[in-house]
A = this chain, B = another copy of it.
Amino acid sequence: MSTSKTALQQLLFELAGILPADTAPLFSMTRMVKLEANEIYIREGATTRRLAFIEQGIMRAYAIKTNGDEATLFLRWEEQFIASHDAIIHRKPSRFIYRALEPVTLLEIDYDVLEAVLKTHPEYEPLRNFVLMRMLSESLQMIESFVTLSPEERYLNLLTGRFDLVNRVPDKYIASMLGITPVSLSRIRKRLHTKGKG
């Protein structure tokens, strides 16, 4: 059995007291997806409503700016969820692109199928709430960091909180997630370096 299933089954047990044996109706509708490094999972304009649990690897969600540059909205990695939120929440074509940064393994479910399952199995409902709340919490934390911290502080924040992530992801994606350019991030790193030594 996949690691993801075990992790999610444990979550279901903790949230709703559902035993692994009783999760078949849900997991029979899921599907393992493997992506190569750099492969696109959801492309701009896609209307598919996908929700996925990341078993292995890092996913990147980004938008194309009016000038053509990419802007990374967020990165998600092992044990986190990723969802085509434009399509799921507003039923509109995705303005964002979801792409694997490394070889990625996902446990995927179609959101429409999930809704159908939840209709007949409302006991899984706590899982949906959990996912939504976790995404909301992470989003609010990002907003908080944008209004309370300088770019340099945001980078330090990442370094202390998610050192592993910073090491696995090219700086240019980290930079755009922090709302700055790669050049500026490079200067910040230099500044911190000399500060640390002086």
B147/A139 in contact, CB under 8 A: no
Tell me whether A56 is interfacial, beta carbon within 8 Å: no
Q: Which of B72, B88, B135, B136 contacts A147 (CB 8 A)?
A: B72
A164 within 8 A of B: no
A118 to chain B, nearest CB (A): 9
Q: How far is the CB of A180 from chain B (nearest CB, A)?
A: 9
Report whether over half of chain A's contact residues are helix, strand or loop; otherwise say mixed: helix
Decide if B143 touches A73 in the complex (CB within 8 Å): yes
Q: Is A148 an interface residue (CB 8 A)?
A: yes
Q: How far is the CB of A20 from chain B (nearest CB, A)?
A: 23
A132-B133, A136-B135, A139-B136 are known contacts. Are A146 and B89 too (CB-CB below 8 A)? no
A142 interface hit (Cβ, 8 Å)? yes
Q: Is A76 an interface residue (CB 8 A)?
A: no
Tell me, rounded to whole Å, the shortest Cβ–Cβ distance linking A176 to chain B: 6
Which residues of A (2-56) have their CB < 8 Å from a CB of B?
Answer: none
A109 interface residue (CB < 8 Å to B): no
Nearest-CB distance from A152 to chain B (Å)?
14
- In A67-105, the 8 Å CB interface with B consists of 71-74, 85, 88-90
Within 8 A of B (CB), among A153-198: 176-177, 179
Minimal Cβ-Cβ distance residue in B for A177? B147
Decide yes or no: A139 and B144 within 8 Å by CB, A125-B122, A132-B129, A132-B132 being known contacts. no
